[in-house]
Amino acid sequence: METYYMILVGILFILAFSDLIVGVSNDAVNFLNSAIGSKAGSFNTIMIFAALGILFGAVFSSGMMEVARKGIFHPDHFYFSEIMLVFLAVMLADIILLDLFNTFGMPTSTTVSIVFELLGAAVAMATIKIYQQPNHLGLGEYINSAKALAIISGILMSVVISLLGGAIVQYFVRLVFTFNYEKTMKRYGAIWGALSFSGIVYFILIKGIKGASFMTADMKQSILDDWSRIILVSFVVFLVLFFILQNVLKVNILRIIVLVGTFALATAFASNDLVNFIGVPMAAYHSYQFFIESGQAADGFLMGDLKGKVSTETWMLLASGLVMVLTLRFSRKARSVTETEVNLGRQEEGYERFGSNMFARIVVQSVVNAHKVLSSMVPMSWNNAIASRFSPKRASESMKEGGEPHFDMLRASVNILMAAILISIGTSMHLPLSTTYVTFMVAMGTSLSDRAWGRESAVYRVSGVLAVIGGWFFTALFAFTLAFIILNVIYFGGKFAIFAVIGLAIFFIYQTHFLHKKREAKKNKLFKEAQEIGKMTNDKLVAKSQATVSSFMGELDRLVQDTILQLSTENKRGLRSIFADYLDLNEITKNKKANVSKVIDKLADDSLETGYHYVQVMDYLREVTHSVRHIVEPALAHVENSHKPLKQVQLEDLKGLGDIISDFVGKATAFVEGHSSESFEDLGNQKNAILKEIGKARKRQIKRIKANEVGTRNSMLYFELLNEMKNFILFSYAMVKSHVGLVTTASGESYDEEVG
């Protein structure tokens, strides 16, 4: 029996290793978004500071480990055999949940997931015990409801406090420094740097020192007794240091603040969140040690020893920190999650990942109306003075370093400072605040105060924030339910069920990894060049248009051909896969269209004509994309609703049209790429021939209707497919024609659009 539980402990540590990888992929956004979003340094430089912070914070996290042992339930009421199943259910549920969120690039909370998984598994085990021993204890005596409620309340309160704290501090910091902060930074920069670093020292060192496993109690107490002098000396030293760096050495001190702040935030993250990944396996390991020492039976040894003080070995904490560092450096999923938060907080407008919804529209309209009322109560001169200090136009010069950051380093420094302070306060109180909630809401608060959510983007940003917050609440429900179910499965299923669930979890992780890799490959293929908008010349614009036309025409044509094929066999799964591919392409083309204004803005003033034709290319690309949707979607709906299949003669007509359309796309692509001997006039003739064939197919369908050979649903689908094939050809031809106009005007020649 000891061997069996030793194997379970080993499995839990293997799961902990996987959980570290999965969890850090999710939580990388917590401490990377400010540095990456403001481009405070190269990616490798940012990673070095973050890695050092993780290793430093890992050794301060020992005090947080008690949350997994006794923070949610009373271990003295559970036998060793029961508590091991609780820990196993928690780890399996955690890996599945976090990997699912990472795959789709949504930041969730590892703290919320672990808390509610512990709660779900503990409630499940307590319910089983109550059912088996109805006269024993009540549910409230198994669950540490007071501590659990304090943890959950702290997590929820952190959402509000973080949003308001970030918004208020950023408002006054921006009011002092403005967006054009070169002059104001010379006056007050040293003071801001000293305040930032002193705050970091206080909350990371003084507050975090309680959990340091490598310090003796006397060392900790001596530092805590003399904290005020340490902070005062730190402030003076940092004030002198930043004054010299800024005024003598001409160093950009904001970059230093952001990079060191990234170290501090990574430290706070590791000291607070490491429990989410290894707390449960460590609790299981210590439980196993107590069990071996007791000499009792597994189902007769109560785990009261877990209520005492149990130190976590420093080498284990450092080893866990090293795994986190390696994951941070090499995980592609970490970058997917980071993109979500950076995009929601960016200063510039453009493509928005999230659409609008009714609640977001109500919120934005209410804020707009409230702003009008408040503005009317303040003298106009005050309004103008405040507005001048928040003018985003002033940001252009301040935000040039390192390319085009999503927001400036002043806001990034506030993000980091506020998040580090709030997380460290939670750590000092042994409350596992959600670092995701804190950093995300601080970032949203600062972007709100910075007026990044302008009238053009506010409703989409609010929708995005609501979507993320909604995902957090879903996390709690899903984590509780999943852990509850897994506990019941492995309890009643025995050893076979344990290994079956482990195998299922491994298979699930593999599948989501494959799905994420596939989605990233698709986006990288067509999405990357849409994001790389530098200084635009006519030659670059022609190349950009050529790449767009040639790549997207082929991809969209493939969807049309695959739809006809899968429709002929009534393959629902195949049609669903095609529609999923379409949605990916639709998102990319939508992004390209949204970035048109940025591309045009980069053109020289004498390139207006080429810009006009490029806009047309993007417009027609969107129209072709819409045509494909109206081919794929009706075909899928027809099959899913189990309507009668199309007749063989109709399918032959569609396949014939598909072949000549594909031939047209191939010749058009070759023409655009300059590999064709055919002229644009030849393409026009082929276009007209295809339209005639579509007309003939339409007439044949009318004859079938007159002869009562087909029903209403059949005719609706067939006519819609023919009509959208016609639109596909017309808009594809128009897109190529606009590209010809772009090439012609870029070379300095005149172009008659009517002649072509």
Res 607: pLDDT: 67
Q: Domain 528-746 belongs to what architecture? A: Up-down Bundle (1.20)
Query: Quick one: tokens of 322?
Result: 């090293």
Query: Quick one: tokens of 553?
Result: 């025409």
Which of 69-73, 398-402, 475-479 shows the lowest per-residue confidence on average (mean pLDDT)? 398-402
Query: E strand or H helix at 24, and its extent?
Result: helix 2-38
Kindly state the DSSP code that residue 747 receives in the 8-state scheme: T
Which residue, among 79, 67, 73, has the nearest Cα to 142 in the 3D structure? 73
Contacts of 74 (CB under 8 A, 6+ apart): 141, 142, 143, 144, 307
- 73 three-state secondary structure: strand
How would residue 315 be classed by pLDDT, with cut points 50, 70 and 90? confident
Most confident of 187-201, 413-427, 632-646: 632-646
Is the pLDDT at 444 greater than 50? The verdict is: yes
Stated pTM of the model: 0.65
Lookup result for tokens 């000396």: 233
Query: Quick one: tokens of 275?
Result: 């429990």
Res 66: pLDDT: 58
Ramachandran angles phi, psi of 749, nearest 5°:
-90, 160
Is the pLDDT at 365 greater than 80? The verdict is: no
Ramachandran angles phi, psi of 79, nearest 5°:
-80, 160
CB-CB contact of 94 with 480 (8 Å)? no
Other CB atoms within 10 Å distance of the CB of residue 315: 10
Average confidence score pLDDT of the chain: 79
pLDDT in tens, 291-308: 998 888 888 888 888 776
Percentage of the chain exceeding pLDDT 70: 78
Q: For residues 657 and 553, what is the distance between their CA atoms, to the nearest angstrom?
A: 16
Kindly state the DSSP code that residue 109 receives in the 8-state scheme: -
Res 539: pLDDT: 81
Kindly state the DSSP code that residue 69 receives in the 8-state scheme: I
CB-CB contact of 463 with 355 (8 Å)? yes
Is the pLDDT at 244 greater than 90? The verdict is: yes
What type of residue is 232?
A: L
CB-CB contact of 30 with 158 (8 Å)? no
Ramachandran angles phi, psi of 536, nearest 5°:
-105, 125
Kindly state the DSSP code that residue 298 receives in the 8-state scheme: T
340 vs 172, higher pLDDT: 172
Write the burial class of residue 108 (CB in 10 Å: 0-12 exposed, 13-18 middle, 19+ buried).
buried
Q: For residues 112 and 62, what is the distance between their CA atoms, to the nearest angstrom?
A: 19
Ramachandran angles phi, psi of 676, nearest 5°:
-120, 145
pLDDT in tens, 509-552: 776 666 656 655 655 554 454 444 455 677 888 888 888 888 89
Is the pLDDT at 241 greater than 80? The verdict is: yes
Res 398: pLDDT: 40
pLDDT in tens, 262-291: 888 788 777 766 767 777 888 888 888 889
* 73 bridge partner residues: 143
Q: For residues 472 and 484, what is the distance between their CA atoms, to the nearest angstrom?
A: 18
Q: For residues 56 and 491, what is the distance between their CA atoms, to the nearest angstrom?
A: 39
Instruction: Kindly calculate the radius of gyration of the chain based on its CA atoms and give it in whole angstroms.
Output: 31
Which of 142-156, 205-219, 372-386 shows the lowest per-residue confidence on average (mean pLDDT)? 205-219
What is the residue extent of each domain of the chain? Answer: 2-521, 528-746
Which of 236-250, 375-389, 571-585 shows the lowest per-residue confidence on average (mean pLDDT)? 375-389
- 707 three-state secondary structure: coil
pLDDT in tens, 327-349: 777 765 555 544 544 454 454 55
Lookup result for tokens 């983007």: 457
